[in-house]
Amino acid sequence: MGRALSAPSDTLPALGDHRFAESEVAVQTGGKSPRNHARLRRQLFVVPFFLWFVFFIIGPIYVLFTTSVSHRSPYGVVERAFDAIAYPTLAEGVYLKVLLTTLAFAVGNTVFTVLLAFPVAFLLTRVGLKTKMWLLTLVLIPFATSFLVRILAFMDLIRGEHLGMELLYQPAGVLMALVYNYLPFAILPLYSALEKIDPRLFDAAKDLGASPFRVFTRVLLPLARGGLLSASLFVFVPSLGEYLIPELVGGGRHFLLGSFLQNQFFSARNWPLGSAVIVLLVLFTFMSVRFLPEEETA
């Protein structure tokens, strides 16, 4: 659908299109050397973005990478000497266990959050404008309150004396806190994906004899695929590095990547090992974004 809408623009030069920009300028100034000036001027516009990119993206990743392959002195000082020991170390049992526990929590969080977000997002596309605004406000209100206050309140909520069973410091409690915290991140991308689906498609499916279940599985789900993927990614990737929730709600009993990193950088002072983990996470994130369907990254 997205492609169908953007198709006519293929024939028109886009704003950033070189031919377009050049011919514009050529008409204005004529001649050859003014054209070179114009090109230079145009390239100057890119400089701030380029600098931003270098300082905030390339630079930090470069520092992390060099640290991860550096040597660590017995006192924890990073020495600039090539030593790729950090990566093989990560394959050791203790570290693998941390990685697997983290993955389990991240996957659990993603599954439950997206499952809960889907009906809410669908509802948002089916109500009137006024109701929609109210519901969206309700979804977003938690963002306006302090993260710490929310988590502390949540911890109180899931204590045994309130629920009849103790969830605080339990894996289930951590998962609940994660899901609660990540819901808006799944609802919003899902909503924007579902909103693009023409509701007449549901009528058409019904008219052709599809039961409500079939309308869901044959029309809604396939069309929501991109939205589901990006919502999953929005939840899964940041929950890999989740630190405060497992520390507070889990009482530090479940040793996850976040706490592990905190440890490596501040207590154990093994910066190369910590950096290696981050480099792998960045690589992983990069790969998953690459594999998103086209219309979702556009």
Residue identified by tokens 């509802």 is 123
Ramachandran angles phi, psi of 15, nearest 5°: -60, -40
Closest separation in Å from C-beta 294 to other proteins: 12
Q: Residue 78, SS3?
A: strand
**What span, in angstroms and rounded, lies between the C-alpha atoms of 172 and 104?**
12
Closest separation in Å from C-beta 3 to other proteins: 5
Instruction: Select 78 or 210, whichever has its Cβ closest to other proteins.
Output: 210
Helix axes of 221-240 and 271-290: crossing angle, nearest 10 degrees: 170
**What span, in angstroms and rounded, lies between the C-alpha atoms of 50 and 69?**
26
Nearest to 16 by CA among 35, 43, 40: 43
Strand partners, 79: 71
Instruction: Select 105 or 118, whichever has its Cβ closest to other proteins.
Output: 118
Instruction: Select 161 or 294, whichever has its Cβ closest to other proteins.
Output: 294
**What span, in angstroms and rounded, lies between the C-alpha atoms of 194 and 188?**
10
Closest separation in Å from C-beta 11 to other proteins: 14
Cβ–Cβ < 8 Å for 86, 153: no
Closest separation in Å from C-beta 7 to other proteins: 7
Query: For binding to other proteins (CB under 8 A), which residues are involved?
Result: 1, 3-4, 7, 198, 200-201, 203-211, 214, 218-219, 222-223, 225
Instruction: Select 159 or 218, whichever has its Cβ closest to other proteins.
Output: 218
Instruction: Select 223 or 292, whichever has its Cβ closest to other proteins.
Output: 223
Instruction: Select 136 or 201, whichever has its Cβ closest to other proteins.
Output: 201
Transcribe 137-170 into DSSP letters: HHHHHHHHS-HHHHHHHHHHHTSHHHHSS--TTS
Show the beta-strand stretches assigned E in the chain: 71-72, 78-79
Closest separation in Å from C-beta 228 to other proteins: 13
Closest separation in Å from C-beta 27 to other proteins: 30
Instruction: Select 169 or 202, whichever has its Cβ closest to other proteins.
Output: 202
Instruction: Identify the DSSP state of 13.
Output: P
Closest separation in Å from C-beta 13 to other proteins: 22
**What span, in angstroms and rounded, lies between the C-alpha atoms of 23 and 35?**
9
Strand partners, 96: none
